[in-house]
Every structure is written in C-alpha cells, then in structure tokens.
Amino acid sequence: MAQMAGDFDAANAWHVTIDAQYQGSYGEIYQKMLAAIASGGLPGLVVAYQNQAATYQPTNTLVDVNTYVNDPEWGGVPGGIRRLFPGYPPIGYQRTIRGHEDGVPHGPVH
C-alpha cells in the first residue's frame, strides 16, 4: 500500500499526496467511520462494502465521485469513470445511491 501511495504521489500532475494508514478490518473501519461521522473528523477517502457506504450516504458525508472525474481541472476524463475503469459497473454492482456514484470498485472489474 505504501509503495502504491508513493508511486501515485510521485506521478500525479496535481501534487496530491496520500497519507495511507492501516485502520483495521472492514468491520473496524466501519465502526471508526460511524464515530468519525458523529464527530465530524472524516477522512478524505475510505474503503467500505456497499452496505456500509449505504449507511453513510444519508448523513451527507459522501461525495459523488463524478464531481471529481468530470471536473475539468481535477479529472476531465473524456468518457468519465467508465473510461478509468473499463467494464464498470460490474454486473450486480450497486453503483448509485440516491443518484450519486459514491464509490468505485476496488477489485478486478470483469
């Protein structure tokens, strides 16, 4: 993970840096996110199962990833998220909640 974050930090044109931190299992991360939502101390990015992300959405703590993918300065990717992740969304993937695309697949997309 540290190597991937370092490679991204070195190569991205926007000078965005990643502070990758191990936060435990999915269950532990979920519990930490619930506490972070309550306190307002949210991370910039988090991993979650779909059902976990679905519980975050009503709290207005998630951002539609298309906000960034389609932004001319930060993303500007012709074809949007589907160009970044060919084959997205995979069959059975609940990609939107209330019309927002709140995440991208973190495993292989077939």
DSSP states along 28-55: HHHHHHHHHHHHT---S-----HHHHHH
List, run by run, the mean pLDDT of 10-residue segments along the chain (110 residues). 86 84 95 95 87 85 77 70 60 57 57
- Residue 40 DSSP label: T
Looking at residue 80, its pLDDT comes to 65
Looking at residue 23, its pLDDT comes to 93
Region for residue 21 given its phi and psi (left: phi exceeds 0; alpha: psi -120 to 50; beta: otherwise): beta
Helix (H) or strand (E) holding 101: strand 100-101
Distance CA 102, CA 57 (A): 8
